Amino acid sequence: MHGQKAKRKNLRWVGIVGAKKIYICHGDLKWKEACRTQLDSHQMGLKAPSSPGHSSPSVRIRNFSHYHIGINLPSTLLAPPRYASGVAHAIGLGGHFKGSDLCVASLGKGRNHGIGLSASVIPLSLTLLSSFWIPQEFSRHEKLDDAKVVRKLERWKNDASQVLLELKTLLNQHDENISLEDQADVVASVVPFDGKDPWVAPDAREISIDILRGFPEPDVHLLKRILMHDVKPLFLSTPHPSSNLSTCRKLPRLAGGPMASQDYFEEQTWKEHPMTASLVLFVIKNIRSEDYEDLWHPVIPSVMSLLDDYEARYKIKGVRIVSEMLHIVPKMLLKRTGVDGLLLVSLNKCLGHLKDPESPKLLRAAISATLSLILLTTEHGTAQRFDQLCALLGDSIIGTVWIYASDSFEVILATVEALPPLMKALDIGIACYLKALIPQLVHPLYPNSVRLTPVVLQKHSLIALMTVINECSPRISRWKGTILDGVGRCWVALQDVDPSRNDDGEELKELLHRMCRELANACPSVIQAGEAHVFGVRRSSMHQLGRIQTVPCS
């Protein structure tokens, strides 16, 4: 018994393997190597990257005294820790260990195995806790056609919930304060499961949220450690060509010349780590305004790399991160480093990404983020703000999206939904674009016998039209006929639809009523009964729509 306790003192807790705990033994104990088990990446259906300087990853399995020690490779969910001597290198579903003084043991539950799960046995230090290693196949999960690999990933996802639960239990049993390094490791391990990514099961998300409640207000030191140890190293091999790597200031020209972006896209090692964007977003959500100066250098390269990626799904993550950042980032820091210009250019490029299935989602987010950036970094009433808003509406939306994606209902809908806040910011300045705005917004109201116009597009077109009328009422008189023609024809078309089969019809009718009232306020003669006959609309239908007797426009 005395010998068993002596051996326990030489065991330090590393992490979790399946339903078991992993320990590492170090010190003066002499061990005999039992065997060397080679990882079979084909059998597991996943690619396990090799350790630096070694041809293939491996795990040493050893025996000591009366204990049976082993490791269950396929169920390994935590990568081994990184030691200063390069002893261990994190890989997908296994680990590589080198050196006679190190050993990994998978110890089961119960007294027969010598080590139980009691908190009194587990050392209170969590120094050796390593991050969850999410298989890189999840990065292209939607493109996988190998059923065997998909099944392996699904099993991995389900097993991760159990591991998170064990980690939660262990943290709850921990009595002493956890060091900063251990807190950062725990947070970096759990944060990727606080979302709706393909590797996250519903119960895993709930457990991760519970664990993160124990870190409600991470301070700048914890956030900096996550950035420096878990995020920044992933982008060092592929620095952004438009940003200085050490100062994060905008470069006067692309580093590496005009073709630098091609090399940049060919060597994106950070894409092998699916959790990258989740960690960056977590940091951005928790940075205080006064801490941005200290964290600017490690955070900006990752943000720009995501935002400027050629794949829409990474652009969306980058835009979301930028939107969060713009809530509290000091505008003078953006302007002093020139990052405001980099962000504006990158966000505008997102609006030219029109042929991807995720383009509508990207456009919605990019228009909103661009507007927020302009309002943050420019002053009200200045020519700079007006020019940037005009570029967003005139060049990006009207001149690019509406011309090159006119046949895509989803893309057009995304831009129409995003119009009202932009037009309110431009105010009377939208008068420059009435020739493009009003025909585009009225067009969905006309009945289409070839392809039915979705009601959702009609509703958002009406909302955008009302914004145009409110912000530019002095110039609406000349467009009253065009607007009334579309409104009247849409109303008549609704009368021919069976109400029981048109759930959205009542809401659309209410919007048409509101449109008439807004139009009457801007130009009171617009809905007089006589004008209904001019456009060939049934008089009875126009009476139902709402006849407003007023004086003519002057």
Q: Please give the residue that has the higher pLDDT: either 249 or 97.
A: 249
The DSSP output letter for 75 is G
Of the given ranges (42-46, 255-259, 339-343, 528-532), which has the lowest mean pLDDT? 42-46
Q: Which residues pair with 17 in a beta bridge?
A: 20, 76
Q: How confident is the model at residue 487 (pLDDT cuts 50, 70, 90)?
A: very high
Which residues in 186-197 are b (16+ Cβ under 10 Å) and which e?
bbbbbbbbbeeb
Residues 290-316, mean pLDDT to the nearest whole number: 91
Residues 159-178, mean pLDDT to the nearest whole number: 78
Q: Which pLDDT score, from 0 to 100, does residue 258 have?
A: 58
Question: Residue 6: is its pLDDT beyond 80?
Answer: no
What's the angle, vertex CA 240, arms to CA 239 and CA 242, rounded to 5? Answer: 135
Q: Which pLDDT score, from 0 to 100, does residue 216 have?
A: 84
Q: Please give the residue that has the higher pLDDT: either 203 or 50.
A: 203
Confirm whether 464 is domain-assigned. no
Confirm whether 154 is domain-assigned. yes
Q: How many other CB atoms sit within 10 Å of the CB of residue 303? A: 27
* pLDDT per residue as tens digits for the range 31-82: 222 222 322 332 233 333 333 333 333 333 232 222 222 322 222 323 333 3
Q: Which pLDDT score, from 0 to 100, does residue 365 have?
A: 97
Q: Which pLDDT score, from 0 to 100, does residue 172 have?
A: 81
Distances (CA, A) of 550 to 378, 480, 517, 519, 529: 42, 15, 11, 12, 11
Do 367 and 351 contact (CB within 8 A), yes or no?
yes
The alpha-helical segments, DSSP class H, found in 191-311 are 202-212, 220-226, 232-235, 260-266, 276-286, 292-307
What average pLDDT does the structure give for the chain?
Answer: 72
Question: Residue 416: is its pLDDT beyond 90?
Answer: yes
Distances (CA, A) of 481 to 383, 469, 551: 33, 13, 16
Residues 237-245, mean pLDDT to the nearest whole number: 61
Q: Which pLDDT score, from 0 to 100, does residue 498 have?
A: 58
> In the chain, what is the greatest distance between 2 CA atoms, to the nearest angstrom?
104
Q: Which pair of structure tokens corresponds to residue 366? A: 């990019």
Between the ranges 85-99, 179-193, 433-447, 487-501, where is the mean pLDDT highest? 433-447
Confirm whether 143 is domain-assigned. yes
* pLDDT per residue as tens digits for the range 178-197: 778 888 888 888 999 988 88
Q: Please give the residue that has the higher pLDDT: either 151 or 6.
A: 151
Q: Which pLDDT score, from 0 to 100, does residue 479 have?
A: 93
Residues 498-510, mean pLDDT to the nearest whole number: 72
Question: What total of structural domains would you count in the chain?
Answer: 1
Confirm whether 306 is domain-assigned. no
Between the ranges 184-193, 411-420, 492-501, where is the mean pLDDT highest? 411-420
Q: How confident is the model at residue 125 (pLDDT cuts 50, 70, 90)?
A: very low
Which residues in 208-233 are b (16+ Cβ under 10 Å) and which e?
beebbeebeebeeebbbbbbebbbbe
Indicate the burial class of 476 (C-beta count within 10 angstroms; 0-12, 13-18, 19 or more).
buried
Do 464 and 451 contact (CB within 8 A), yes or no?
no
Confirm whether 106 is domain-assigned. yes
Q: Which pLDDT score, from 0 to 100, does residue 375 have?
A: 97
In this prediction, what percent of the chain has a pLDDT beyond 90? 37
Q: Which pLDDT score, from 0 to 100, does residue 260 have?
A: 54
Distances (CA, A) of 6 to 25, 104, 532, 542: 12, 18, 96, 93
Q: Which pLDDT score, from 0 to 100, does residue 1 have?
A: 43
Do 484 and 512 contact (CB within 8 A), yes or no?
no
Q: How confident is the model at residue 531 (pLDDT cuts 50, 70, 90)?
A: very low
Q: Which pLDDT score, from 0 to 100, does residue 70 have?
A: 30
Q: How many other CB atoms sit within 10 Å of the CB of residue 111? A: 7
Token pair 């519903």 is found at: 202
Domain membership of residue 162 as a residue range: 2-212
For the CA atoms of the chain, what is the radius of gyration?
30
* pLDDT per residue as tens digits for the range 266-285: 667 788 888 899 999 999 99
Of the given ranges (11-15, 58-62, 175-179), which has the lowest mean pLDDT? 58-62
Confirm whether 194 is domain-assigned. yes
Question: Residue 417: is its pLDDT beyond 90?
Answer: yes
Confirm whether 385 is domain-assigned. no
Q: Which pLDDT score, from 0 to 100, does residue 176 have?
A: 61
Question: Residue 485: is its pLDDT beyond 80?
Answer: yes
The DSSP output letter for 394 is I
Confirm whether 149 is domain-assigned. yes
Q: Please give the residue that has the higher pLDDT: either 151 or 542.
A: 151
Question: Residue 520: is its pLDDT beyond 80?
Answer: yes
Question: Which residue, among 206, 91, 202, has the nearest Cα to 157 in the 3D structure?
Answer: 202
